Amino acid sequence: MKLLFDENLSPKLPELLAAKFPGSQHVREFGLKGRTDEEIWRHAGGNGFTLVSKDKDFYQRAVLFGAPPKFIWLGLGNCTRADLLALIQRHEGDILAFATSPEAVLVLT
């Protein structure tokens, strides 16, 4: 499962999670930093990514429009990169199962 990390997340996350989620990228690697939610959404869906963000706007878009792309909402407030990494690692099994589930949204807290 390839994850596309939104700009509100550390650009180091794809590298730190490469062993578990190969092919994952940060939006800035595609020149999408500062782009609209719609542009990021289209890029993720058109390129086989699952979008990961703390942005509630993406959550609302996923609930309204469904997949693709699938969406993982990290429901943490202000936190460190280490906190986000731990959250994702703690839910690795849930994320991998989400890849084949019919659900469009996975909320991690």
Mean pLDDT for the stretch of residues 76-96? 95
User: Would you say 59 and 71 are in contact if contact means Cβ atoms under 8 Å apart?
Assistant: yes
- pLDDT per residue over 11-27, tens digit each? 999 999 999 999 999 99
Q: Using DSSP, state whether 20 is helix, strand or coil.
A: coil
The distance of Cα 82 from the centroid of its chain, to the nearest Å, equals 16
CATH number of the 2-108 domain: 3.40.50
Mean pLDDT for the stretch of residues 84-106? 96
Give the pLDDT of residue 98: 97
Mean pLDDT for the stretch of residues 23-48? 96
What residue segments make up the domains of the chain, in order of their start?
Answer: 2-108
Among 59, 45, 56, CA closest to 105:
59
Give the pLDDT of residue 77: 87
